[in-house]
């Protein structure tokens, strides 16, 4: 245990570090989700039709751009933190995040140029957020003794996860005032956090001066970025197909990214000071924890969108809510999930400090997987108490897993490698979430494509819509219907109103088509087929994470060993922890 951690000053400092880093990761992750609920207000504010075919790309990158940057940069920024000071990089991240938030809130354009402005500054904001998340876990591991790291890292991790769901409610509330308020809220928090961090955080970790692995950084960033870009582009329709996976450019980008990542792995085995410490995977707890973390991120990342679509596109309209109100109420009805995170995370962190991580992480994943099975069995028009119970169980499962898993990973590595280890852990998490969104949407679109076109066409014709118009709307890419649900828009009213057909129909048909039940009933059966696929996939990933957690071994003591003992004699690579 570091001497500083045993003194009254050290005891005070660790709580300062915890409160500041917890605020930072909460803010960074809240901003990843706050835009989702606010998208309808944002697109209205910049005078852009989000359902127009040419504008889908703006919608996708408003959501995915932030995640992509976080996935690509955290390892590099963690390594830079190891070299030049974790607190120094972390503090700079706060300043960058606050600066980008100011620029986002003063968008001077309208239409497509306004969307490009927002996407570009969201990228800078994500860069600042990556500087925070890449170094926060390492700062906490430096500040806290081993017996309290589970509590500290668990609180930090749950704050990050909770930020994703609190952002849904905050986005709805703030967008009702002004869409720019979604970005204004970050400015005072960013300024306060920057001043606080610069004045009170201290460099207490080991620095490992060395050269930056430029080739490794470039091949990793471009390779992973290319794969995530391809996955995002694959969701978009192409050449008459419902998705872009037949597009040679998408396939070429994906293949090129995979080749670059393969080259990256070769480079990392040959350079003197690699960016990605492959030797850390020889530590059992580190390897198993990251495999489990990646599986959980993929299982969980797209869940948020599926639940939002389920609530906004089907359940809330069927229960009397106007489409314009559904984004806010979807966030409110998901609060049991957030509450479960907040309760289970710190408790499991404290208990895992005493009893070890393996049991809690494994049990959490079994609980997590069981919740997906329950969601598969739930009818589309469910009783809310059953839905609330299942998402609470889901939140408890992730909370039981996240804190012990983070503590196990960070405690297993040598002190000098905590920055890069934190970056690697965050990379697996952010990459998994970004991939999950693409995978979940692809699976859902594939499921909808089999039955939604005929169902939608037949339903429109029954209400007197001309066959040619009904077939045209029915043949639109299913992703448009999914985005309509995310945006709280009735796509039938939107499309028929734009074409002028709606006004020519009898009043009774107009009332049915623009009502709250026509579209939800049409989409419910095809949507449920897609839900079965994606939730079964998530349940399988949960089982994989449970197995990986079980194989992590007992408590690792690597982090408390001297540097020479933690590495092999000749090659200075980490050896396996027990």
- 143 HSE (CA, 13 A, CB side): 30
Q: For residues 10-22, give the mean pLDDT.
A: 87
Residue 571 is predicted with a pLDDT of 39
Looking at per-residue pLDDT, the higher value among 387 and 134 belongs to 387
Helices (H) and strands (E) in the chain, counts: 24, 0
Residue 570 is predicted with a pLDDT of 35
Q: For residues 235-252, give the mean pLDDT.
A: 83
Q: For residues 104-117, give the mean pLDDT.
A: 92
Say how far apart CA 538 and CA 443 lie, in whole Å: 12
At 186, the pLDDT band (50, 70, 90 cuts) reads confident
Q: What angle do CA 45, 49, 50 make, to 5 degrees?
A: 95
Asked if residue 120 lies in contact with residue 62, where contact means CB atoms within 8 angstroms, the answer is: no
Residue 574 is predicted with a pLDDT of 36
Asked if residue 313 lies in contact with residue 527, where contact means CB atoms within 8 angstroms, the answer is: yes
Q: Residue 24's closest CA among 117, 125, 121, 151? A: 125
Percentage with pLDDT > 90 across the chain: 26
- 476 HSE (CA, 13 A, CB side): 22
Strand partners, 574: 567
Q: For residues 248-274, give the mean pLDDT.
A: 91
At 207, the pLDDT band (50, 70, 90 cuts) reads low
- Secondary structure of 118-184 in HEC code, one letter for each residue: HHHHHHHHHHHHHHHHHHHHHHHHHHCCHHHHHHHHHHHHHHHHHHHHHHHHHHHHHHHHCCCHHHH
Range with the lowest mean pLDDT among 220-234, 424-438, 476-490? 476-490
Q: Residue 360's closest CA among 348, 373, 376, 377? A: 348
Query: What are the phi and psi torsion angles at 574 (to 5°)?
Result: -65, 145
At 15, the pLDDT band (50, 70, 90 cuts) reads very high
At 454, the pLDDT band (50, 70, 90 cuts) reads confident
Looking at per-residue pLDDT, the higher value among 373 and 352 belongs to 373
Helix, strand, coil shares of the chain, percent, nearest 5, are 80, 0, 20
Tens digits of per-residue pLDDT, 365-397?
A: 999 999 999 999 999 999 999 999 999 999 999
Residue 504 is predicted with a pLDDT of 86
Q: Is the confidence at residue 564, as pLDDT, over 60?
A: no
- 346 HSE (CA, 13 A, CB side): 10
Q: Is the confidence at residue 102, as pLDDT, over 80?
A: yes
Q: Is the confidence at residue 4, as pLDDT, over 70?
A: no
Looking at per-residue pLDDT, the higher value among 389 and 518 belongs to 389
Asked if residue 151 lies in contact with residue 214, where contact means CB atoms within 8 angstroms, the answer is: no
Residue 508 is predicted with a pLDDT of 87
Cα Rg for the chain, rounded, in angstroms?
24
Tens digits of per-residue pLDDT, 45-87?
A: 898 876 676 777 787 788 778 888 887 888 788 878 888 888 9
Write out the DSSP string of 282-349.
GSHHHHHHHHHHHHHHHHHHTHHHHHHHIIIIIIHHHTT--GGGHHHHHHHHTHHHHHHHHHHHHHHH
Q: Is the confidence at residue 211, as pLDDT, over 70?
A: yes
Predicted TM-score (pTM) of this structure: 0.79
- Secondary structure of 170-220 in HEC code, one letter for each residue: HHHHHHHHCCCHHHHCHHHHHHHHHHHHHHHCCCCCCCCCCCCCHHHHHHH
Q: Is the confidence at residue 115, as pLDDT, over 80?
A: yes
Q: For residues 332-356, give the mean pLDDT.
A: 83
**Tokens of residue 67, six digits:** 């995640």
Residue 485 is predicted with a pLDDT of 66
Q: Is the confidence at residue 455, as pLDDT, over 90?
A: no
Residue 292 is predicted with a pLDDT of 94
Q: For residues 555-571, give the mean pLDDT.
A: 39
Residue 554 is predicted with a pLDDT of 62
Say how far apart CA 98 and CA 94 lie, in whole Å: 6
**Mean pLDDT, the chain, whole residue set:** 82
Residue 357 is predicted with a pLDDT of 84
Q: For residues 304-313, give the mean pLDDT.
A: 83
């Amino acid at each position: 245990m570091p001497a500083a951690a045993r003194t009254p000053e050290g005891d005070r400092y660790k709580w300062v570090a915890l409160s500041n880093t917890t605020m930072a990761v909460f803010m960074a992750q809240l901003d990843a989700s706050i835009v989702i609920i606010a998208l309808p207000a944002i697109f209205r504010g910049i005078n852009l039709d989000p359902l127009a075919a040419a504008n889908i790309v703006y919608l996708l990158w408003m959501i995915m751009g932030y995640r992509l940057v976080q996935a690509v940069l955290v390892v590099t920024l963690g390594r830079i933190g190891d070299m030049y000071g974790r607190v120094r990089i972390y503090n700079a991240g706060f300043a960058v995040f606050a600066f980008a938030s100011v620029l986002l809130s003063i968008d001077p354009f309208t239409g497509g140029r306004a969307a490009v402005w927002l996407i570009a500054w969201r990228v800078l904001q994500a860069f600042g957020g990556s500087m925070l998340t890449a170094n926060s876990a390492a700062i906490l591991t430096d500040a806290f003794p081993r017996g309290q790291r589970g509590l500290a890292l668990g609180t930090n991790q749950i704050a990050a996860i909770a930020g994703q769901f609190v952002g849904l409610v905050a986005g709805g509330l703030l967008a009702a005032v002004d869409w720019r308020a979604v970005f204004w809220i970050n400015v005072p928090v960013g300024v306060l956090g920057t001043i606080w961090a610069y004045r009170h955080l201290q460099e207490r970790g080991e620095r490992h001066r060395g050269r930056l692995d430029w080739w490794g950084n470039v091949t990793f960033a471009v390779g992973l970025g290319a794969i995530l870009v391809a996955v995002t582009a694959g969701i978009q329709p192409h050449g008459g197909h419902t998705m872009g996976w037949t597009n040679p450019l998408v396939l070429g980008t994906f293949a090129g990214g995979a080749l670059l990542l393969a080259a990256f792995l070769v480079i990392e085995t040959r350079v003197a000071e690699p960016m990605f410490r492959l030797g850390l995977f020889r530590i059992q707890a580190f390897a198993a924890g990251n495999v489990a973390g990646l599986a959980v991120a993929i299982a969980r990342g797209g869940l948020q969108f599926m639940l939002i679509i389920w609530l906004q596109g089907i359940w809330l309209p069927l229960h009397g809510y106007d489409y314009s109100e559904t984004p806010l109420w979807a966030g409110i009805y998901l609060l049991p999930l957030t509450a479960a995170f907040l309760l289970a995370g710190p408790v499991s962190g404290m208990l895992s400090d005493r009893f070890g991580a393996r049991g809690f992480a494994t049990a959490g994943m079994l609980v997590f997987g069981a919740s997906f099975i329950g969601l598969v069995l739930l009818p589309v028009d469910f009783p809310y108490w059953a839905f609330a119970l299942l998402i609470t169980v889901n939140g408890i499962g992730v909370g039981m897993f996240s804190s012990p898993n983070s503590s196990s990973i960070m405690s297993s590595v040598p002190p000098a490698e905590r920055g890069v280890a934190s970056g690697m852990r965050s990379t697996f998490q952010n990459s998994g979430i970004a991939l999950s969104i693409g995978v979940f949407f692809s699976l859902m679109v594939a499921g909808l494509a089999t039955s939604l076109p005929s169902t939608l066409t037949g339903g429109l014709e029954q209400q007197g819509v001309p066959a040619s118009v009904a077939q045209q709307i029915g043949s639109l890419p299913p992703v448009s219907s999914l985005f309509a649900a995310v945006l709280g828009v009735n796509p039938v009213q939107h499309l028929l109103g734009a074409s002028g057909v709606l006004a020519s129909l009898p009043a009774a048909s107009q009332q049915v088509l623009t009502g709250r039940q026509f579209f939800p009933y049409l989409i419910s059966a095809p949507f449920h087929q897609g839900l079965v696929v994606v939730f079964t996939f998530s349940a399988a990933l949960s089982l994989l994470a449970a197995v990986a957690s079980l194989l992590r071994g007992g408590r690792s003591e690597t982090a408390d060993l001297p540097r020479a003992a933690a590495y092999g004699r000749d090659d200075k690579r980490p050896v396996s922890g027990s």
